[in-house]
Amino acid sequence: MDTSTDSAHAAGQALSGVRVLDIATFLAAPFCGTILADFGAEVIKIEQPDGGDSLRQFGTPADCGDTYMWMSEARNKQFATLDLRTPEGADIFRQMVAKSDIVLENFRPGTLERWGLGYEALRQVNPGLIMLRVSAYGQDGPKKDDPGFARIAHAFGGLSHLAGDSDGPPVVPGSTSLADYISGLWGAIGVLIALQHRNRTGAGQFIDIALYESVFRLLDEIAPVYAKFGTVRGRLGADVANVAPHSHYQTATGEWVAIACSNDRMFERLATLMGRAELVKRPEFANAPARARHREDINRIVADWAGSLGYDELIALCSEAGVPCGRVNTIADIFQEPQFQARGNLMKVDDARFGETVIPASVPRLSETPARFKNLGGALGADNDTVYARLLGLCEGKLQELKATGVI
């Protein structure tokens, strides 16, 4: 690839020298780009000139015209516009691909091929190209042409069926965008694997991720258990299938806490702490399978104990006894939580467009090549002039012509 850099390029980071073209929209594939950008990749976000990525209008509006969702999730990128549907726009994109390492896309399967920009076409100009392709159902199969978003992926992939109380309807599993974020993480893993392969062989490849697959892969043992026994796991509310007590309990002062006894040793510690050491000798509580079968009984005992104690006392007792316990935090609680502060999980930034605000810090934490913050989500086409002049050597006159014709 072209090894030229600019001041926004973070020399010394793990992904310095890697150039990414992010032509995707909304969240899944772009989130992969954000992860790569956090760790030094030069990520150029390419949007349609007429309005840009719909994520700009998703979430809580900010005074600058974009949203706080955009601000956080499009950070650390450069922002260019290009109409890939036009012949000249497609030609410019191919020139950029020739000088890049990675393309991120999440159009419906076949869309880029219709524009002459599918993987097989692009690898002709860059044999080492790595392309991440995220779609609702993947690049093949009977549903490949169907549209879908994260909510559909949660339902189709089996996650929504597990979320909610046993006597209630399936509910949103925490976040309506969970499958998008998870797909972005799988995408980043795939891109890094492909980069390692290319470093050895020089050959690129494409990565095919379906939103529903991203959540289905995380559903522990439900597939092999169904295949063997025909068991269909239902909704368990705050409980889990195989162990108990492993749920949420309310304190005497009103706060909710999570307590997790994932093995017999942990349960013995909790029983002793509750002053009920004899519980471990009762057949219905003697081991994890027995407790799972009698979860209502053990949950009632733990709930009565937790409900007799104030939050501070309960947390202190569990910490001293080595029983895993944590508060069910709201975002307000998180902003006051010393652990979040000590780890720097809440990053304060001051941006010309958004002003002073707080965003989640990057994950993971690397000892030698940590993530670096460069910028929040920029304005539509903010870096057009520098991107096209630097990568392709386009002069001011040509840029004005492309703007006038709507190509950029």
List the chain domain ranges.
Answer: 19-217+345-404, 246-335
CB 10 within 8 A of CB 40: yes
Give the confidence band of 11 by pLDDT, cuts at 50, 70, 90.
low
The answer on pLDDT for 27 being more than 80 is yes
- Is 180 a catalytic site residue? yes
Give whole-number Cα distances, 214 to 135, 180, 182, 219, in Å: 11, 9, 6, 10
Contacts with 237 (C-beta within 8 Å, 6 or more apart), sequence order: 164, 165, 166, 247
pTM: 0.94
| Rounded distance between C-alpha atoms, residue 152 and residue 86, angstroms | 32
Q: Which of 22, 83, 101, 180 is catalytic?
A: 180
Q: What does the pLDDT read at residue 3?
A: 34
Residue range 96-121: mean pLDDT, rounded: 97
pLDDT tens across 324-349, in order? 999 999 999 999 999 999 999 999 99
pLDDT at 12: 82
Q: What's the pLDDT tens digit per position in 44-87?
A: 999 999 999 999 999 999 999 999 999 999 999 999 999 999 99
pLDDT of res. 322? 97
Fold of 246-335: formyl-coa transferase, domain 3 (3.30.1540)
Share of the chain above pLDDT 70, in %: 97
Residue 248's CB: how many other CB atoms inside 10 A?
Answer: 15
Helices then strands, counting H and E runs in the chain, come out as 17, 11
CATH of domain 19-217+345-404: 3.40.50.10540
Q: Which two tokens stand for residue 234?
A: 């239902």
